[in-house]
Amino acid sequence: MTMVGTALTGARFGAMNGLRRLVARAIAQDLTAFVLPGPSVARALGLDLSRSHLRIVGTPRHAGVLIVVGPLPPGLRDAAAVAYAQMPRPRAILALGAGDIAPLPAPDATGALSQAGLAAGLADLRRVLAEGAFRPKVEDFTAAVLEVRIEYTCPMHPEVISDQPGNCPKCGMTLVPRETAAGDRPALRPSESEPAMSSHPMSATTTSATDPTAHSAEAASYICPMHPEVVSDQPGSCPKCGMFLVKAEDKGHDHGHDHGHGGHDHGKHAAAEAASYICPMHPEVVSDQPGSCPKCGMFLVKAEDKGHDHGHDHCGHDHGKHAAAEAVTYFCPMHPEVVSDQPGSCPKCGMFLVKAEEKGHDHGHGTHSAVRDDGIEAHFMSMVDLTQGKPRSSDGLQMDWIKVPFGPFLSGLPAGLRLTLTLDGDTVAASEVTSLVGGMDLLDGAAVAPAAFVDRLAAMMPLSPVAYRALACAAIEAAAGIEPDNGPRRATAAAIERERIASHLGWLAEFGAQTGFSWLAARAGALQLAARDADAAGLAALSARIAGLIRRVQSAPLLRMRLGGMARIGKDSPASGPVDRARGGGSDARRDDPTLAALGFAPLGQTDGDALARLRLRCDEISQSLRLVAAAGAIAEPVLADIGAASGEGAATVETPRGAARLELWLEGGQVVNARLDAPSTLHLALIEALTAQQELGDALVAVGSLDLSPWEIRA
């Protein structure tokens, strides 16, 4: 046991005094812990956290201690740093057999990766907390992954992202700032979507109102509606508020319209009327040129009210025709810009047009009522308008999709797995899955000694090390041309079956936590720890308790209701192990093993292929493995035979708790020089997209959990 320092790296600011000493001692006695990579890995490695007087929490925001269990793969270290930064002070780190944990700070206490190491490490950590929870000088934790940058996005179109302030090229709204990770890049810049007005603060284009050259081009000058001192000879955005500049009207022109004096040019007025533009959100804003609303910055849209004459000059105006047109005008309730002089259907959404009773029109001065008699604001931009052109949901609605990451430390999902779901409301539209712990090189160097290779492969697979140790031994012996010794094979087969029992119980514990069945999580987790290192007699003593749990699981009506019919997998999708056998498939690498056949093995199966079938099959396999271990009578982990300086190529297949794993390797002069592994979780990763598509979020997460993936197995 080694200690790192006598004061917390994550102490809280403040000089220690009498009251703070009392608080520190209370904190040291009531520890809340967040476990990395996760409680499932801790149990698989033999750590019983329930015996350590800790409260295990599911989020770092509620934890005071970060417990790192075993070496953290490089892909998880950045995520661990983010978790540590979210913890409130005072915060501490306990590392158990972890080695290098950078970019995390140095641990406040360390210990061996064992139950004794956990107990000793916590005792030291409590002492450190009691003595150093408060310090007059504290340092902020920083890491490259925590650096943020500011990017700008549109509130209505979140796919529009820019690294500079400006306006949305789709709707014209001012982009709003948000923080994002320093390594992320904009998904869509305005310049990459549609041509946009300038999104940069104006410099050379800005001109003073007293500039002599400005008057020569006054008809083409642009000003900010909110800051009239900002003048430009080009369209763009205001450097002060970000609003679009609007064209400055020549004050020498008479914009007041000569009412009743006959001086108004009706031809020009009609042309302007046909090409008028309005703001969808502020219909009182009307312009004869395209541009932006001075109130909200949205693009003005063309007003298609050609049948309306606003009556600015009534000399020569035909009131009889105008009144007739008014009386037979129809419009769409969802698209008020659709106007017709006959009843019918809207060409955009198919709704019946309704008769417009436009009592609010003032034909004496040219302004229309902003609200129709049905209570809908004239020219109101409906949700159909705002979502036009966006993907259509399964319920027929159209809305923006958002990407939401889950993991790699989410309770109920495999530790080390990052699942990114594209959500359409609460429905999954697409999914992406990556492993942050898999894909490590099988060889640590150009050539590896066989025994070191066996240890390395077993350590790479913390959720099923015995099966992969047996796989490595079998492949090396096959490459060396050595026939396996039948003497210890029964005991080795029993060790793999014991691991299958513990692994399936561990899956039941995680599945219970994910689905809200706390009794299942607690009982299955405790039995997993008890079965993990038990000998044949010990397993026989546990068999009654395990059988009782299985009976309760098999008969639980809420489990049947929750899982029945969910995440069904057809026979056309590649699968292995329990996932395949639960749909009526016959894949099982134990089928042709004479040792297991002599112990009474026969493949099991279910037919429905849903999450409930996978749960029931794993329960049946736990019972079967208990019988196989009892028949073997002894348990012994695999031992590699002496291969000398053999050379050759060999392969082996072992049925791990998650399916068949196949290892091919090459020997030269008694050294492993090359190897290739095919693992079941890599195969099952391809099922996630189909299982989660168009599922509600909760069902999608349960579907992923039902596969029992090991991110350490994933080679892609």
pLDDT tens figures, 121-133 = 999 999 999 999 9
Q: What is the pLDDT of residue 310?
A: 42
The model's pLDDT over 214-226, given as tens digits with 9 standing for 90+, comes to 333 344 577 777 6
Of 88-92, 208-212, 420-424, the range with the lowest mean pLDDT is 208-212
109 - beta bridge partners? 3, 94
Examine the pLDDT at 646 and tell me if it is beyond 60.
yes
Give the span between the Cα atoms of 332 and 573, in whole angstroms.
48
User: What pLDDT is stored for residue 602 in this prediction?
Assistant: 95
Does the pLDDT of residue 460 top 90, yes or no? yes
Confidence class of residue 444 from pLDDT cuts 50, 70 and 90? confident
Say what the pLDDT of residue 189 is: 36
- Tokens matching residue 697: 């979020």
d(CA 267, CA 533): 95
pLDDT over 90 (residue 576):
yes
Backbone angles phi, psi at 580, to 5 degrees: -75, -45
Q: Which pLDDT does position 252 carry in this prediction?
A: 40
Q: What is the per-residue pLDDT across 227-240, written as a single tens digit (0 to 9) for each?
A: 677 787 777 666 66
Rounding to the nearest 10 degrees, give the CA dihedral for residues 350, 355, 361, 364: 120
Alpha helices in 87-206 (DSSP H): 115-132, 190-193
163-199 pLDDT tens trace:
888 888 877 788 888 777 655 544 333 333 333 333 3
pTM of the model: 0.70
Which long-range contacts link 460-464 to residues 24+ away (Cβ below 8 Å)?
Answer: 460/712, 461/710, 461/712, 461/713, 462/41, 462/44, 462/45, 462/70, 462/712, 463/40, 463/41, 463/44, 463/503, 463/506, 463/657, 463/710, 463/712, 464/499, 464/503, 464/656, 464/657, 464/658, 464/710
Rg of the chain over Cα atoms, rounded to whole angstroms, equals 35
Buried b (16+ CB within 10 A) or exposed e, 633-655: eebebbebeebeebeeebebbbb
pLDDT tops 70 at residue 510? yes
pLDDT (mean) for 296-300: 72
**pLDDT above 50 for 672:** yes
More confident residue, 296 or 293: 293
Q: Which domains does the chain have, with CATH numbers?
A: 12-145 (3.40.50), 434-705 (1.10.645.10)
Assign 698 a pLDDT band (cuts: 50, 70, 90): very high
Does the pLDDT at position 326 exceed 70? no
Which of 237-241, 529-533, 597-601 shows the lowest mean pLDDT across its residues? 237-241
Looking at residue 253, its pLDDT comes to 41
**Res. 66: pLDDT tops 90:** yes
Q: What pLDDT does 7 receive?
A: 64
Which amino acid is located at 136 in the chain? P
Tell me the pLDDT of the chain averaged across its residues: 81
Token couple for 559: 């489990």
Q: Which residue has the higher pLDDT, 689 or 356?
A: 689
Over 60: is that where the pLDDT of 359 sits?
A: no
Does residue 518 carry a pLDDT above 60? yes
Q: How confident is the model at residue 256 (pLDDT cuts 50, 70, 90)?
A: very low
Per-residue pLDDT for 200 more than 70? no
**pLDDT confidence of 305, banded at 50, 70, 90?**
very low
